[in-house]
Structure 1
């Protein structure tokens, strides 16, 4: 909030909640706001959701009503700045741009058309990151995972 030069009251107004609610988000690290409020907060502060609520995505994937057993996810604590969704010979890649939130970054739909093309290069990069990452369902992750 300091970087965005916002008060609790200003953030509350931007998110459509009471200032006391924002105060609870700040003082209780285990409190995860509803998705629409997280998105509004990220937009107002210019921050990524994972920076503000690292456990939000893990919680949604492991306990959400639409949890899929066939979906795998990993957290990488190094320099990633990349979201990837792969489906056989297609993938959706969103490189996160510096000083931008995820929804302000480009999204590329890649298809494997040739050996060592852009798809294969991103695929190799993602495999390297995947091998270093930790499963989102592991118990005992630290808050920054």
Structure 2
């Protein structure tokens, strides 16, 4: 079975087989076999290819890393654990938003706290204009999942849907901006995800507890890690189920 993940990653980054072969010091046919026959490169080659393709080793070659090493690397991907989302320092949010240049991905219900930042929308627009890919996923205010979540958090009927609509009003300037995509999801929100390039804030959700008071992880992606990639794949799954946002 071909390694479609590797093929896609190389194509997405405009990397020809001969470029990869030259960069890692192997024959072009060897690179072809890595794709068409799903052969696994040596570790030194995997490191270089993963860096070139801007993907993790565990994503490109899921079976290449021993379970023990995956567990150790996953622990190393956790930069810090916060007891509550509101305990995440303002300076950390500011730095991640400022430093992101390639990927911004947000999976939330409303996340009004983000648009309370005076420059957040302008920063997203500027980053998209500079070539970053910005993808934003909001809870569908008409969806069943939002209604259920509002009840579970004891917010009152329609409260969460109203919060989402309030937040969306702030995102209107991003409509039609090249590089910015916005969708509605109607999935169970197990975690809110905020990705800025190779860093991520994961706001876990606890039944009956509002997101601001739930535990939160600060992750930094490592090439051989599996934790960051797990949340990234979760975002992708929700994105594929979502529909274009309507304002």
Under a length normalisation based on structure 1, what TM-score does the superposition of the two structures give?
Answer: 0.51
Larger radius of gyration: 2
Specify whether residues 95 and 53 from structure 1 end up closer, same or farther in structure 2 by C-alpha distance, changes over 3 A only.
same
Q: Which structure's residues are more often helix, by fraction?
A: 2
Specify whether residues 71 and 98 from structure 1 end up closer, same or farther in structure 2 by C-alpha distance, changes over 3 A only.
farther
- 1:131 matched to 2:240: yes
Specify whether residues 51 and 105 from structure 1 end up closer, same or farther in structure 2 by C-alpha distance, changes over 3 A only.
farther
- Equivalent residues in 2 for 1:1-145 (5 A)? 46-47=154-155, 50-63=160-173, 69=177, 72-136=181-245, 138-139=246-247
Specify whether residues 58 and 81 from structure 1 end up closer, same or farther in structure 2 by C-alpha distance, changes over 3 A only.
farther
The answer on whether the counterparts of 2:201 and 2:216 sit within 8 Å (CA) in structure 1 is yes
**Unaligned stretches of 5+ residues in structure 2:** 1-111, 114-149
Separation of aligned partners in 1, 2:182 and 2:193: 10
The answer on whether the counterparts of 2:193 and 2:231 sit within 8 Å (CA) in structure 1 is no
State the Cα distance separating 1:124 from its structure 2 match.
0.6
Separation of aligned partners in 2, 1:71 and 1:94: 23
State the Cα distance separating 1:71 from its structure 2 match.
5.3
- Tell me how many residue pairs correspond in the alignment: 94
Higher relative contact order (CA 8 A, sep 6+): 2
The answer on whether the counterparts of 1:50 and 1:56 sit within 8 Å (CA) in structure 2 is no
**Unaligned stretches of 5+ residues in structure 1:** 1-34, 37-41, 140-145
State the Cα distance separating 1:46 from its structure 2 match.
4.2
State the Cα distance separating 1:58 from its structure 2 match.
1.4
> 3-state SS of the aligned residue for 1:94?
strand
Under a length normalisation based on structure 2, what TM-score does the superposition of the two structures give?
Answer: 0.32
State the Cα distance separating 1:54 from its structure 2 match.
3.5
